[in-house]
Amino acid sequence: MSNFRGCMEVNFFGTVSVTKSFLPLLRQAKGRIVNISSPTGDQPFPCLAAYGASKAALNLFTETLRHELVPWGVKVSTILPSSYKTAPSSNNAYWEQQHQQLLQSLPPALMEEYGEDYIAETKNLFQSFAEHANPDLSPVVDAIVHALLSPQPQARYYAGRGLGLMYFLYDYCPISVRNRFLQKRFLKKTLMPRALRNQDGSAGEPRPQQQRQQQQQ
């Protein structure tokens, strides 16, 4: 819950607070509001529920502001960057610290269900994804400049490679195709959670205790 609250405080409530403080001046000057969000606020990226939920809230807040501020001449834009290499996500020590904190905070029952090797593989996948992210931030900077200075700024800026295909699949393809794309592209897992494995490491039938838990859920 601390992860969910932390993401909401920074990505949503922080933005709402700053925007609220400056709105009188923005209305008076017919200014601009440009918020940096993420495609994770529109699409269900695996293992990013807390971050994605905060960005989804930010997206809806920004879109609502855009409609509400039309009478005042205030233009509102959302920047949606693809994956970029930024500190500390490209720092190996950061990922190791996050991994250790997660291991220490997980309840023993949850650790037993997933297994330390499953958690380590997930960490390695995210670390690898961050290491291969684009180091050139110029598309994001260009989008921000255009949103601030253009006489007719766009409501949304998709800054970076791969976003066109991603949104096309999400908007026009069946859910099964979208799910397969997200799983294959962003979470290339080779391990199943420990509770779902047979002795040979492959997926198996849930244990009796699991079946009871699933029925209760």
What's the pLDDT tens digit per position in 29-40? 999 999 999 998
Radius of gyration of the chain (CA): 21
Binned at pLDDT 50, 70 and 90, residue 202 comes out as low
Structure confidence at residue 167 (pLDDT): 87
Residues taking part in catalysis: 51
Q: Does pTM top 0.85 for this prediction?
A: no
What's the pLDDT tens digit per position in 132-170? 788 889 999 999 999 999 999 999 999 988 888 888 888
Binned at pLDDT 50, 70 and 90, residue 210 comes out as very low
Fold of 1-84+135-172: Rossmann fold (3.40.50)
Per domain, the residue ranges of the chain are 1-84+135-172, 85-133+184-212
